[in-house]
Amino acid sequence: MPDPDNCPLPGVEFKTIHANGIRMRIAMAGSENRDGRLCLLAHGWPESWYNWRHQIPFLVEQGYRVAVPDMRGYGETEAPAEVQAYDIRSLSDDMAGILDALGEEQAIMIGHDWGAIVAWHAVLFHPGRFSALIAMSVPYAGRPAESLYESYRKRHGENFFYMLYHNAPGGIAEKEYDADPHGIISRLYLSPDSPREAPVIADRHHSAGGWIGRLGAPKGLPSWLSADDLAYVVDQFSRSGFRGGVNYYRNLHRNWEITADLDPVVRVPTLFIAGEKDMVIHGASKEQLAAAIGRVVPDLRGVELFPGIGHWVQQEASQQTNAAMASFLRGL
């Protein structure tokens, strides 16, 4: 089994800090004498600091110091018991708290999946602390007229949808995932064209069962994921459990309520990156995404969509992602 105390990436060290009232583990890389050139990378669900393994050394080569936390509820970072401790204000305050703990005035904020949601809002809640933003997979177009939770309830009704499953009573989602972390992660960490077995559960109604059985088992690993990579992330969840990460979804409606008076305009230079086949963007074109994001991001400097790539963009298309990031960072 991987050793949780030893970092598997050369040149990266773990550091324990206290930020925003919780203990956090941070993977750190790069010289500390970088004149404040810090990149703060936030991962999503079900991910780990390790999902940035291709970006950490690349950003160091570009001259940046890099800080990559286990997000609240993940890995070796503390996981508060209260569901409301995972609302978007708390998660955004964690990002500013990391800067405080590291003695940094500002950073470039980078996030993927839920980490992108946190990144968008960290810049909104703490506009003076972040000089630029790179968001991946989850776009931002301002606060919607209705909470995502209510929208999904109306759209899916009695049919299964994983975000509603994560909100089901009794903690059934994390119980399922905790019982088979390899099963859920190996079924999610695939490319759009990865071959799968037929799903065990074909009934669309949520009463038919959980999520793992609805996802066909992989017939092999995608080219961008080694057995050791998968084992490391699975081990992280075997140790921490899934409840912390699932709690992010339990705040979908609360997040909508607490951002009612938040200025929705992101005023820092911003880049958006996604896979063209990422289900999160629902088939939107580059032009459509640029128009939607641009309404609330006046300094949107680019939208990059990579053909044939799915949700795990910084892993699936690491070289393309790094090149897009480098081009954006050179222009700052």
Residues annotated as catalytic (active site), given as ranges: 113, 311
Helix H segments across 75-134? 88-102, 114-125
- 110 pairs with which residues across the strands? 41, 134
Residue type, 157: G
Q: Which two tokens stand for residue 282?
A: 């629902």
- 159 pairs with which residues across the strands? 205
How far is Cα 41 from Cα 128, in angstroms, rounded to an integer? 17
For the chain, the residue count is: 332
Q: How deeply is 311 buried, as exposed, middle or buried, from its count of CB atoms within 10 A (0-12, 13-18, 19+)?
A: buried
Strands 65-69 and 22-29: antiparallel
